[in-house]
Chain A
Amino acid sequence: MPGPQPTEKAKLSGVPQAGELASPLLRDSTGEAADQAFKFLMWLCGLAVLGMLVLIVYELMLRSSLSWHKFGFSFFATREWDPVSDQFGALPFIYGTLVSSLLALLIAVPLSVGVAVFTTEMCPKGLRGPLSFFVELLAAIPSVVYGLWAIFVLVPLLSSYVEPFLARTLGWTGFFNGPPYGISMLAAGIILAIMIIPIISSITREVLMVVPQHQREAALALGATRWEMIRVGVLRNARAGIMGGVILGLGRALGETMAVTMVIGNRPEIARSLFAPGYTMASVLANEFSEATGDVYLSALVEIGLALFLVTIVVNALARLLVWTVTRGQPSRANA
């Protein structure tokens, strides 16, 4: 046959005799068919990941359709949550999720960026490893343990010291008044902040380390002090990536369940004061799902789950894109 031989055929005919002598690995190989079967199997595993997403969307939509047809868009705009008379509105939960997450970001972002800047730019070399190890250790603690700690340490601390102090000094703003029980939106925001600091700071650290060294050197050569070098040469270049880390932290805060459920007070109300109890989308699922009686009740809860899912998907996709724009150009394949 003239022209180039098909490579598969060459592999089949050429290799076996030589391989049998050279390698015991080849003895149980069955050639092309096994290769195809293996590829198909691995392809199935890859498909399973895609399938999971489809499954999640399908099940959530299927199980929430009852509530969707009954309430429509007003589900997300009404405040009433009354299982007895089958009236459901998710607004208090959406409000609680947003406020607790934003509060957490407000506390966590400056602290995380500070830690990242310190570990990459200021820290003595010997301290760098242990410090990032300790901060990442925070990420390994289960959510329920944070909640346990928050109930028995953070909440008493808030109710006896922090909240009375805030009420005295900032009570006039309306955000810090009412009885200081400790169990409150504020407690939820603080424990969330503690939980998302490791994520934001580790991504910020990654992004800061990608900033080219010559940016720093150029700033220093122009006579900048260290802080000016960090501000102009480092932080400004890393803005998009830091933003990505912040949004990723937001995604985690929005979906966080156990620790928040344990300290937020679980009352479906919208209050201006951060000392008042609240409720989040994730905590209402945690508290009421296994005891929900009635199809509409269950369906309304699943619809909250669907909303939570969609929001976190959008937030995470946004964060991925932002982090990618900064860290791309890094070699991902050692043999490329």
Chain B
Amino acid sequence: MPDLINKPAKTESAKTPPIALRRRVTDHVMTGVAVLTVILVLAPLVAIFAYLIYRGAGSINWSFLTQTPKPVGETGGGMANAIVGSALILGLASILGVPVGIGGGIFLAEYGRNRFGDAVRFTADVLNGVPSIVIGIVAYAIVVLYQKHFSALAGGVALALMMIPTITRTTEDMLLLVPQALREAAYGLGIPRWRTTLSVTLRTATSGVITGVMLAFARVAGETAPLLFTALGNQFWNVRVNEPTAALPLQIYSYALSPYDDWHRQAWAGAFVLIVLIVSAVAAVRFAVRRGTFGAA
């Protein structure tokens, strides 16, 4: 009898502290695990940037930025033609893709509250996930097969196809942030709807829309896969739209897989230049836009 009375009390007092202790220990362990995951995720990032600066920035010199590639086996030379080629292809892509993308965004925000709009919205979301290499095949089929040769234009079309869905969705999001009252005020002044959209709604959302465009631009600027069989690459200068053209990502790819140390060095330098160009393009436009909107406001 005393046993029966004592036992529960004993186990209660003996058990409770360990459970609480276990819970507290678990809590600390899980906090530790979360911190560990952060470290594990940040480590490669730090390593990638460290290598880019260590191997890349050290390899950049004047000839890298001003010369075309040397023949196989010779050291020296540079990627000037690839930098210009990338600019050409990206310029074409922007000319083709940005107006359509912004137009699609305007359609979705201003006229797209219906079934057709929903279909376009869903399609744009889905297209954002299509692998870039598949977009490359499509550009090959609609441009290269008709021209019968690889060209900068085909590369531009491929990248434009990738930009359009992204720009459409970000533009729509930005236009929807503009208060309805602004549109109503414009209608109240008798301004037609198209003029309201362009001069009031789009203008108010300018900085957001341009940020979206720059994000799309930055995303396609580093794309290699869709250029492999559209722009193809080129060892020489080319600024003509109908010729195969070098691009920085393509050049990095082929140099990285080459067996030559000097080309490896140039691949790192190319990667560094590519990232610096992307980041500075985005930063420059955002800075300009911010100043512009402050000036207007």
Contacts and interface: CB of A to CB of B under 8 A. Distances in A.
A18 interface: yes
5 contacts: A26-B191, A34-B194, A42-B106, A45-B100, A309-B130
Interface string A23-65: 1011001011011011101111111111011011001101100
Interface string B98-139: 011111101110111000110110111111111111111110
Contact of B249 (A115, A140, A144): A144
Nearest to B125: A320
Nearest to B28: A227
A313 B47 CA distance: 33
Contact of A56 (B106, B134, B256): B134
B138 A55 contact: yes
Closest 6 CB pairs of A and B: A142-B222, A255-B131, A114-B37, A45-B103, A38-B194, A19-B190
Given A144-B224, A289-B229, A153 B47 contact: yes
Contacts of B110: 42
Given A29-B192, A43-B111, A141-B222, 20 more contacts: A26-B195, A37-B194, A39-B193, A41-B103, A46-B120, A50-B123, A55-B142, A62-B141, A122-B35, A137-B45, A140-B279, A143-B222, A145-B275, A148-B267, A152-B55, A152-B256, A153-B51, A257-B133, A286-B133, A290-B232
A125 interface: no
A25 B195 contact: yes
Interface magnitude class on chain A:
35 or more
A135 interface: yes
B48 A146 contact: yes
Interface in A238-272: 248, 251-252, 254-258, 262
Contacts of B278: 140, 142
Contact of B181 (A140, A194, A335): A335
A137 B130 CA distance: 22
A255 B129 CA distance: 9
Contacts of A11: 190
B111 A39 contact: yes
Interface in A7-29: 11, 14-16, 18-19, 22-23, 25-26, 29
B274 interface: yes
Interface string A290-324: 10000000000010010011001101110110000
Given A143-B222, A290-B228, A52 B165 contact: yes
B225 A282 contact: yes
Contacts of B140: 289
Residue among A34, A137, A251, A290 with most chain B CB within 10 A: A290
Contact of A149 (B47, B102, B131): B47
A134 interface: yes
Interface stretch (B3-11, B19-27, B66-74): B19-27
B107 A29 contact: no
Nearest to A226: B27
Nearest to B42: A134
Nearest to A117: B34
Contact of A45 (B104, B177, B193): B104
Contacts of A42: 103-104, 106-107, 110-111
A16 B189 CA distance: 10
B111 A118 contact: no
Interface of B: 23-24, 26-27, 30-31, 33-38, 40-42, 44-45, 47-48, 51-52, 55, 99-104, 106-108, 110-112, 116-117, 119-120, 122-138, 140-142, 150, 161, 164-165, 168, 176-181, 189-195, 197, 199, 218, 221-225, 228-229, 232, 249, 252-253, 256-257, 264, 267-268, 271, 274-275, 278-279
B34 A46 contact: no
A222 to B, nearest CB: 12
Nearest to A151: B256
A151 B141 CA distance: 32
Contacts of A315: 129
Contacts of A320: 122, 125-126
A115 B268 CA distance: 29
Given A144-B271, A228-B27, A46 B117 contact: yes
A52 to B, nearest CB: 6
Nearest to A302: B137
A15 B189 CA distance: 8
Nearest to B36: A114
A201 to B, nearest CB: 7
B193 A38 contact: yes
Residue among A47, A148, A251, A282 with most chain B CB within 10 A: A148
